[in-house]
Homo-oligomer: A and B are copies of this chain.
């Protein structure tokens, strides 16, 4: 697939960034004036790296995380002008070795530059920067997102070294009952009962994987995978499981709520600290462009459908 696609303007080189962060010290991913956010810190660092070229480049991300949510492997892309990309030359002189000026080496160098910027402290780390395959879009090429939620219930040890990424829960939870609930929620549904509504955004999602187990220390760990998650969906789904695990909600009721398609007070949305985005899935390099086009087309159709429904609804 060498055909040009909408998302990759000519004269620009698109790089893929893999990023890890402890969300504790950030007001989420999305840039907000006056607040410390992951996007804000990274774009400031990009602006510093490319300060000679005027306004710094902008990031597009796979999964916008909320305040306090962590990421082990978040994915973003950035488009660099030829001049910006060409500026990523080695600063190492001499030593007998000729600096590697291949596009791959230039791309890799950006990560080291970003991690070297003073503004990036050790709670945010760029694990990898590489040339993106043709047509790649960090957001629209993604086929799935995978999140993890960690809970130390009354039975599990409380480890202060992992306190930023674990919810300490004061009751004992029944992991079997939680798994019955999780299995009941799998599949293609309208997750409106488990989403914080956003104007014009669909709440129809496919939950591909959802399971709980105790790790070797006894901590309850859930992994959830879906094509995409709507706002606060992971924390609502895990919250319903916790209510079931504590005996405060029937597993069947958690599933019936899907049909109600309305938010409820029968369970609590869990705090951000236990949540981490652990992986974003993409198709093979040859397919990423096609996937991005399909996602965009589907989104446009859904927006159209929403608009049609809204205008047909009684006032």
The answer, yes or no, to whether A160 is at the interface (CB within 8 Å) is yes
The answer, yes or no, to whether A137 is at the interface (CB within 8 Å) is no
In the assembled complex, the Cα of A122 lies from the Cα of B20 at a distance in Å of: 23
User: What size tier do the contact residues of chain A reach?
Assistant: 20 to 34
Lowest 3 A-B CB distances belong to which pairs? A22-B160, A122-B163, A123-B160
Determine whether the beta carbon of B165 is less than 8 Å from that of A21: no
Determine whether the beta carbon of A125 is less than 8 Å from that of B158: yes
Residue of B nearest to A73 (CB): B157
Determine whether the beta carbon of A160 is less than 8 Å from that of B276: no
CB distance from A61 to the nearest CB of B (A): 17
In the assembled complex, the Cα of A160 lies from the Cα of B20 at a distance in Å of: 7
Determine whether the beta carbon of A157 is less than 8 Å from that of B70: no
- Collect the chain B residues with CB atoms within 8 Å of residue A258's CB: none
A127 contacts which of B123, B157, B163, B165 (Cβ < 8 Å)?
B157
Using a CB–CB distance below 8 Å, which chain A residues touch chain B? 20-22, 70, 72, 122-125, 127, 157-161, 163-165, 168, 276
In the assembled complex, the Cα of A21 lies from the Cα of B159 at a distance in Å of: 7
In the complex, which of the residues A123, A124, A161, A164 has the most CB atoms of chain B within 10 Å of its own CB atom?
A161
- Collect the chain B residues with CB atoms within 8 Å of residue A123's CB: 160, 163
**A72-B159, A72-B161 provided; 7 other pairs, C-beta below 8 A?**
A20-B160, A21-B160, A22-B160, A70-B161, A123-B163, A125-B159, A161-B164
A20 contacts which of B159, B165, B276 (Cβ < 8 Å)?
B159
Q: Could you write out 5 A-B pairs with CB less than 8 Å apart?
A: A20-B157, A22-B161, A122-B160, A125-B158, A127-B157
- Collect the chain B residues with CB atoms within 8 Å of residue A20's CB: 157-161
CB distance from A208 to the nearest CB of B (A): 23
CB distance from A266 to the nearest CB of B (A): 24
Determine whether the beta carbon of A161 is less than 8 Å from that of B165: yes
CB distance from A134 to the nearest CB of B (A): 27
CB distance from A42 to the nearest CB of B (A): 13
Residue of B nearest to A163 (CB): B122
Residue of B nearest to A124 (CB): B160
CB distance from A154 to the nearest CB of B (A): 11
In the assembled complex, the Cα of A21 lies from the Cα of B163 at a distance in Å of: 10
